[in-house]
Structures are given as structure tokens and as C-alpha cells.
Amino acid sequence: MEKLAERIRELKERKNAVILAHYYVDGFIQDVADFVGDSLELARKAKSTDADIIVFCGVYFMAETAKILNPEKKVLIPYYKAGCLMADMAIAEEIEEFRKQNPDFAVVTYVNSSADVKAVSDVCCTSANAVKIVESLEEEKILFVPDRNLGSYVASKVKGKEIYLWEGYCPIHDKLRVRDVEERKRKGGVFIAHPECREEVRKLADFVGSTSQIVRFVKETDASRVIVGTERETIHHLKKVRPDVEFEVAYDGFICDQMKLITPERLLKALEREQFEVFVDEEVADKAREAIERMLALS
């Protein structure tokens, strides 16, 4: 593995490439990456880098978002089939149909969505800023796409809005059950949950937040044991932040298989062959960028 890491670093330097890795990808990849973060942090990093090539180690919508924000840069994803199961639960034609029938609604779209869906939305949001974005809109009626769990979290925090939830969800976060948390809690510790978890699970949490908010919470916690209610690999990063804390994942199968399609070997090939380049149709990218930039301005 050390040889592979060396080879990756060597190629990265030679080609003036930057490797961005999501908290959910394999720990080895996090260790060779230049930056580790959540999807929005990484898209912003992509914007501030002067590298010629961005290798985005995450699922497709994330690489696509990085490309939308950096149309002039070469953005690569080590495996183009690594997709987000939640993002696939909304398609642009369905949203457009809803808009036609409900013109008084504002469409707020979680960044976990395709560029096509972003392009037919009024504004994007992340799990960190969703409440703020919805609160700042003039419209009283909101369609929240695609995550019904994050949407119900927003609805529980925002007053005076009618929030309609799209029937999408993350099959990995949605699988966590109350009994799993209760079982882990018997050994003590605090429980932190991502808002993509179900409402009844979130209610048991000592802290609810996006992955970047979870990292910040862990940095400052007094707890000696933390039960982690998000993708298991996040613990790889959390252990570096707080080596003194014991971490346990909230259920054993808390693994995003799509993220694991980004393997060290595919990362090496991506650098060697400069594959797989991410392209977004210009018109779609322009519209999607508007929704993302509106979010950035509002948050």
C-alpha cells in the first residue's frame, strides 16, 4: 500500500493535480488526499485551488458540483459509476411537472441531487444550511427535494411555512433504527446523528448536524465515547481529530457502497490516464450554478 501511495503522490505532483476526498471514502484515500471534507467544503476547495486537475474522490453528484463551480478546470472522478442512491430518487422531469401544477411553490434542493435537478430548482441547500435557506425564502410553500428526512428536520425547525417532502431518502442513513441506538447507548456516550437519519432516531441524538458540523462538535466535546450516526468511514477522520475519544458506529452496516467504489487502485488509474472526466451540459450547468450561488449568497 505504501508503494501505491507513493505512486499516487508522485503522479499528483507531476501533473499538478489536487485530490479531494469525502469523509465517506476509504481511509487510505483520505490519507493521500490534499483535502478531506463534505461535498460543499470540497466544491469550495475546488474553486480555490490553482491545480490543473481536480481528482474528486466521492460520488458523481459531488464531482459534478465541483465541475459546475469550476467549468474551466479538468475534474476527474476515479469511477464514473459511483452514484448517490438518494440523488437518483429525483429526476428533473418530475420536478418540472410539479412546478407546472404548483406555480406558487419554491423548490429547495439538497446538494445530493443531479445537475439536471439542480437546474430546475430555485435554490440549493446542504444539510448544514437547509434551515437557514428555507427561512430566508419569501415563498410560504416549499417543495423540499429529494431527502424526506432532511426535509422533515427542516420542517421541525422552521415556523410559518408549508413544507412538502419529496419521497427520497438515503437508504444507508434511513436504515438506522431506534433499537440500534438504544443498544449502543447502554454502554454510555453521546449520540450524534446526521439529519438524513429518520426523525425518531434524530430525537435520540445529543447533536444533529452535517458531517462538517459533526467534526466541529467532536473537536470540542467533553464526552469520552461518541456513537456516530453517519457513514462509518467518517470515524477515520474523527479519530485523527480526537485520538482520546472512543468512537462507535451507530449500526454495523452503516456503509455507503457507492463511496467504496472509489478504490485506491482506481484513484491511481485516474491519475495515470486522466479518467474519468466529468462534463456537464453548459446550459444545465449555468442554471444549476444559479441555484448553488443563490444558496451561497443566502447562507
- Output the DSSP codes for 34-67: SEEE-HHHHHHHHHH---SEEEEES-HHHHHHHH
228 labelled ligand-binding: no
195 labelled ligand-binding: yes
- Residue 30 is a binding residue for ligand CIZ (CB under 6 A): no
- Residue 49 is a binding residue for ligand SF4 (CB under 6 A): no
Among 30, 113, 114, 126, binds ligand CIZ (CB under 6 A): 126
211 labelled ligand-binding: yes
Among 5, 85, 158, 296, binds ligand SF4 (CB under 6 A): 85
- Residue 26 is a binding residue for ligand CIZ (CB under 6 A): no
CA 290/CA 288 separation, integer angstroms: 5
Q: Which of residues 135-194 bind ligand SF4 (CB under 6 A)?
A: 170, 172-173
Angle 179-204-156 from CA coordinates, rounded to 5°: 125
Among 65, 109, 112, 113, binds ligand CIZ (CB under 6 A): 112
CB atoms within 10 A of CB 186: 7
Q: Which is nearer to ligand CIZ, 226 or 271 (CB)?
A: 226
Cα-Cα end-to-end distance for the chain:
41
Burial call 137-155: b when 16+ CB within 10 Å, e when fewer: beeeebbbbbbbbbbbbbb
Nearest one of 102, 81, 92 to 145, comparing CA atoms: 92
- Residue 211 is a binding residue for ligand CIZ (CB under 6 A): yes
Distances (CA, A) of 49 to 35, 39, 42: 11, 16, 10
Which of ligand CIZ, ligand SF4, none lies near 258, with the C-beta cut-off 5 to 8 A by kind? Answer: ligand SF4
Contact pattern for ligand SF4 over residues 234 through 253, marking x by CB under 6 A:
--------------------
Name the binding residues for [4Fe-4S] cluster.
84, 170, 256
Contacting residues toward ligand CIZ, per CB under 6 A: 38-39, 111-112, 126, 170, 194, 196, 211
